[in-house]
Amino acid sequence: PCSVIYFDEFDSICPATTHSQYARQVRSELLRQMQGMDSYGEDTGHILLMIGATNKPWDVDPAFVRPGRLGARIYVGLPDDDARRYMITRALDKIAKAGIVAVGQVNVDAVVAATLGFNGADVANLVDKVQELSIERANATGVKTIEQADFDNALAQVTSSVQQTDLDKLDDWRKQNG
């Protein structure tokens, strides 16, 4: 048996600096709870895995990332072409199965190329915008399909939320901290 505890935006839960008494109490309590995690399940064979995810590892209190707590660091970069293709194709399949609008002629490879630098949330936002635009067009014209033009229009409105300065800062942090 295995249990996984996952904290997203870990830097907001365990900030390196804070003026909030509440945040300091949460940070202290979490540190106390983590003290016994190594021995959890030793006698029963149960495995406990704790994961803290963040886009700002430099903002996490160093007490949490020392060996014995969250010692392993894994960098997950932006989705590559194959990952974005999978996300787009899967989203289009879901839309088609929902039956609200059909999926017509879409050059997925062109969309993948146009979304270089997008993270997963950006891709989801793009597909949401495409669906919104196609529904608006369907209401006006009766054409209930998603076409390449919908992606082209959406790409003119939706851009990546990822800033190059953030990627550079992450890269510098990784070089310094492993």
Instruction: State the Cα–Cα distance between residues 117 and 120, nearest whole angstrom.
Output: 10
pLDDT attached to residue 83: 98
Q: What is the mean pLDDT of residues 116-130?
A: 96
Instruction: List pLDDT tens digits, range 64-111.
Output: 887 777 778 888 889 999 999 999 999 999 999 988 788 888 999 999
Q: DSSP H helical segments within the chain, as ranges?
A: 10-13, 21-35, 81-98, 108-114, 120-141, 148-157, 164-177
The predicted pLDDT at position 148 comes to 93
Q: Does the pTM of the predicted model rise above 0.85?
A: no
Q: Which residue's structure tokens are 């997008």?
A: 118
Rounded (10°) angle between helices 120-141 and 148-157:
120
Residue 36 in tokens: 């016994």
CA 139 – CA 123 distance, rounded (Å): 24
Whole-number Å distance between alpha carbons of 155 and 138: 19
User: Do 14 and 27 touch, CB atoms closer than 8 A?
Assistant: yes
Rounded distance between C-alpha atoms, residue 61 and residue 65, angstroms:
7
Q: How many CB atoms lie within 10 A of CB 128?
A: 14
**What phi and psi, each to the nearest 5 degrees, are found at residue 96?**
-60, -40
Residue from 166, 125, 133 nearest 150 by CA:
133
Question: If you average pLDDT over every residue of the chain, what do you get?
Answer: 89
